[in-house]
Amino acid sequence: MSVRVPAKVNLQLGVGPIRDDGYHDLVNVFHAVSLFDEVTVERAPGLEVRVQASPYSRVRVDGVPVDEDNLAVRAALLVAARLGVEPDVAIRIRKAIPVAGGMAGGSADAAAALVACARLWDDREQPVLTRDDLMDLGAELGSDVPFAVLGGTAVGLGRGERLTPALTRGTFHWVFATADGGLSTPAVYAECDRIRAERGEAAAPPRVSEELMTALATGDAKALGAALTNDLQPAALALRPSLRRVLDAGLEFGAAGALVSGSGPTCAFLAETGEDAADLAEALDGTGFAEQVLRADGPVPGAATR
């Protein structure tokens, strides 16, 4: 059973004040792009996991855990517990999504493992677990997991896990510049809180951007580019100042919009056409600022069997 699952970029990441439970209230506009990990599951004598780079990518997989810290393993355990079966499964992950890059690769693998294991163990005729159930299970693993099951473009509220699909038109063309070494998501949130405290800024509760939703609904890449926002970007730039020149280079080369993806350090650039994206990718590659320059389109569907 093989499931392909997309990376995400946050078109808007609004970070509200820190809550009593330590989380932030978020407004998250998730957008799934055509950069895919593949998760294959097979019945086996016990639970095992293998992680490798996809043959089409140069992703470094050395930081990815191969024990119960791997989100795909935790997903398999959850599905097994829910269906009352032994978690005897060999999981193979082929990664093309940058690791710790702010594109939710780990969450994507968890989503793929949920879908794959449900297919493997659930009743084919009358499945116990619906897609909504899998999204609920995903929310137990992390706030980005339900979106990787759903795909497309969606607005996430709360910690990001309450999702509403967004209306979009056409295809948007993206270029991603990856960076050497990841950024830890908790460290970026902590830096965001630190910067706000230092500036004496009280974060307002975030609201969904109307400009952004209109640009999506009308398929207007130029307007979408202008409406991209990420409240974590100042923190990511403070922790990794070299990202500034990557963003500036992309804008100089004519990107309709540029922002740090999620908690970074991957930078995302929106182009107006597929041809512009190809030109932009080539120009960015030429600067040598990025570890890797990748092209992808969005929106694409969530975790799905091949």
User: Does the annotation flag 286 for ligand binding?
Assistant: no
In contact, 14 and 231? CB cutoff 8 Å: yes
Contacts of 294 (CB under 8 A, 6+ apart): 35, 175, 176, 178, 281
Q: Read off the tokens for 198.
A: 């230092």
Closest CA to 229 of 208, 250, 251, 202: 208
Other beta carbons within 10 angstroms of residue 160's beta carbon come to: 25
Contacts of 186 (CB under 8 A, 6+ apart): none
* Part of the chain binding ligand ATP (CB under 6 A), chosen from 104-112, 204-212, 236-244, 296-304: 104-112
Number of residues lying near ligand ATP (CB under 6 A): 23
CB closest to ligand ATP, residue no: 106
Judged by CB under 6 A, the residue of 263, 295, 298, 299 near ligand ATP is 263
Q: Read off the tokens for 78.
A: 């959850």
95 labelled catalytic = no
Phi-psi region of 45 (alpha: psi -120 to 50; beta: other; left: phi over 0): alpha
* Part of the chain binding ligand ATP (CB under 6 A), chosen from 66-74, 84-92, 154-162, 237-245: 66-74
70 vs 230, beta carbon nearer ligand ATP: 70
| Gap between the Cα atoms of 223 and 204, Å rounded | 24
Judged by CB under 6 A, the residue of 63, 170, 181, 301 near ligand ATP is 63
50 vs 194, beta carbon nearer ligand ATP: 50
| Gap between the Cα atoms of 2 and 290, Å rounded | 31
Is residue 299 reached through a cis peptide bond, with omega within 30 degrees of 0 on the bond before it? Answer: yes
Residue 71 touching ligand ATP (CB under 6 A): yes
144 labelled catalytic = yes
User: Does the annotation flag 135 for ligand binding?
Assistant: no
For 170, the 3-state DSSP assignment is coil
Query: Where does 200-301 have alpha helices with state H?
Result: 210-218, 221-227, 233-239, 243-252, 274-287
Judged by CB under 6 A, the residue of 3, 33, 72, 166 near ligand ATP is 72
Residue 262 touching ligand ATP (CB under 6 A): yes
Judged by CB under 6 A, the residue of 15, 27, 29, 104 near ligand ATP is 104
Residue 57 touching ligand ATP (CB under 6 A): no
| Gap between the Cα atoms of 157 and 212, Å rounded | 16
5 vs 221, beta carbon nearer ligand ATP: 5
Judged by CB under 6 A, the residue of 12, 28, 107, 233 near ligand ATP is 107
Judged by CB under 6 A, the residue of 27, 59, 103, 271 near ligand ATP is 103
| Gap between the Cα atoms of 252 and 165, Å rounded | 33
Report residue 58: phi and psi, to 5°: -115, 30
* Part of the chain binding ligand ATP (CB under 6 A), chosen from 65-73, 123-131, 236-244, 280-288: 65-73
User: Does the annotation flag 107 for ligand binding?
Assistant: yes
Judged by CB under 6 A, the residue of 3, 89, 109, 148 near ligand ATP is 109
For 270, the 3-state DSSP assignment is strand
User: Does the annotation flag 300 for ligand binding?
Assistant: no
Residue 181 touching ligand ATP (CB under 6 A): no
Question: Active-site residues: which are they?
Answer: 8, 144
Annotated binding site for ATP: 98-108
Annotated binding site: 98-108
Q: Which residues bind to ligand ATP, rule: CB under 6 A?
A: 63-65, 69-72, 93, 99-107, 109, 144, 182, 185, 262-263
